[in-house]
Every structure is written in structure tokens, then in C-alpha cells.
Amino acid sequence: MSLRIVVTVKYVPDATGDRHFADDLTVDRDDVDGLLSELDEYAVEQALQIAEDADDAEITVLTVGPEDAKDALRKALSMGADKAIHVEDDDLHGTDAMGTSLVLARAIEKAGFDLVISGMASTDGTMGVVPALLAERLGVPQVTLLSEVSVEDGTVTGRRDGDAASETLQASLPAVVSVTDQSGEARYPSFKGIMAAKKKPVESWDLSDLDLEAEEVGLEGAYTVVDSAAERPARTAGTIVKDEGEGGKQLAEFLAGQKFI
């Protein structure tokens, strides 16, 4: 039977853009361009390598996000994934990590899966909690933060590198894994891949397709909310020390005044 791999991919605001909060203290997503979270490219790459080693595998990429999040799905499809699912609903506005994991888990259950592969963290929220929340919600084992991953005979095996040691971990499928930026460079989409992606199926689901009510997600269902936010103060010009014989002393006094020494 085909190995069903679901890769969770997040559409994130471009970190090089000028990002702001909207009036309700959610991220203003209309104000900045977005892209596939770079850390999720590693998850797509590992899925492609596992599928290449398997007799028969199918890779579905899944995102929860606004209309433009389709761009993230197209990029993953052009890298080589087979099909995509986009969960989009106005009531998702303000959804936190708990809500996002609920929506993702329902969508993964509906799609059917043997292996879920996530990035180690998104490049905007960077909480790194969604893979563990997914495993809990799906009731399957989790093997997170892997720098190497393979699948054989219904078992996923991975290596997690720590500061002092590397661990080899295994779980029986179905399971959730997350992979780090050490797992191997993500491939660039080829021209052929980009053209092929245009014809690959992208399904759109909303909350009712997942038997979810509006109040279970969005700001209303959120466990975490942003209470207040303030613009970072503009950079000051700094202090220039002119060395006219006393430069070293002045530097030392400056550093002591800032409690650096």
C-alpha cells in the first residue's frame, strides 16, 4: 500500500519586509509579501527523499492560511510534492498555535496519513510546538528535531543531534516527525517542476469541511493573545569617542557606564 506522507507547510510574512501589527494586534498580513517558511522547505525535501526510497508513496502538502498561502503550496508542489490541501476560512483570523494544531490535525485525519513531516519551527511564530501538539491530537508517536530521517518496514528512524550527544530514535507508523535545517539542503524547483505544479490538484477546505465551529478557533478560541505592542524606538546615533590621547579611558568609562565591564 502507498505510504501517505503529509507535509505541513506554513506561509509566512517575508522576514526582510517591514512587518506590523494590525489594529486588533494580529499580524498585518496584507501589509507584507509572504512565502513558504524556509524551515518547511527542509520538511518537503525529506518527504521527497523518503518517497524516492519507497516503492510507492504519495506526498500531500497542507497549509492553514489566507488566500495567498497557495503560493507556499505551489512552491512545495514545484519541488515535487504530489497534491495540496489549503484550509482557508475568515473565522481563522487570530488563531493561535493551539487552534492551528486543531485545524491541521482535523485536516490530516481527513486526508489520511502514515507519516506527518513538519518543520522544526515556523520562521515567523517560531514557537516550535505545532508538531508535538499534532502528535497529541492525532494520538500517534512524535519524533522531533531530526537531522536525519528514514522509513523502513513501517518504522520511522531519525537522528537528533544535541550539544553533547546524538540520539537515534524510532517510532512505528503512523507518526509525526519534525526536521531541522541540518537535515539536508532543500532542492530548487526545476523549470519542469514549476510547469508540472500548475496541473497538480489543490483542494480547498473550510472549517465546516473539518466539522469545526468558528468559536473553536480564531481570536475567540485562542489560548494566547497579544495584549499590547509598541514600535521599537528608532536607533540613536550612538556615541563617538574621538581619541585625543584619552580614547581608551573614555571607552572603558562608557562600557562601565553600560555595565558591560
Ligand X SMILES: Cc1cc2nc3c(=O)[nH]c(=O)nc-3n(C[C@H](O)[C@H](O)[C@H](O)COP(=O)(O)OP(=O)(O)OC[C@H]3O[C@@H](n4cnc5c(N)ncnc54)[C@H](O)[C@@H]3O)c2cc1C
Structure-block grid coordinates of residue 141:
508517536
Nearer to ligand X, 93 or 110 (CB): 93
Query: Which is nearer to ligand X, 126 or 239 (by Cβ)?
Result: 126
**Closest approach of ligand X to the CB of residue 10, in Å:** 4
Kindly tell me which of 93 and 200 has the beta carbon lying closer to ligand X. Answer: 93
Binding site for ligand X (CB under 6 A): 8-10, 26, 37, 39-40, 43, 63-66, 92-97, 100, 104, 118-119, 121-122, 124-131, 224
Q: Which amino acid is at 85?
A: I
Min dist CB 169 to ligand X, Å, is 18
Q: Minimum CB separation from ligand X for residue 119, in Å?
A: 3
Of 65 and 221, the one with the shorter C-beta distance to ligand X is 65
Which residue sits closest to ligand X, CB atoms considered? 125
Nearest distance, CB of residue 244 and ligand X, angstroms:
51
Taking the C-alpha atoms of residue 18 and residue 13, their distance in angstroms, rounded to an integer, is 9
- Tell the smallest beta-carbon distance from residue 85 to ligand X (Å): 10
Rank residues 126 and 172 by Cβ distance to ligand X and give the closer one.
Answer: 126
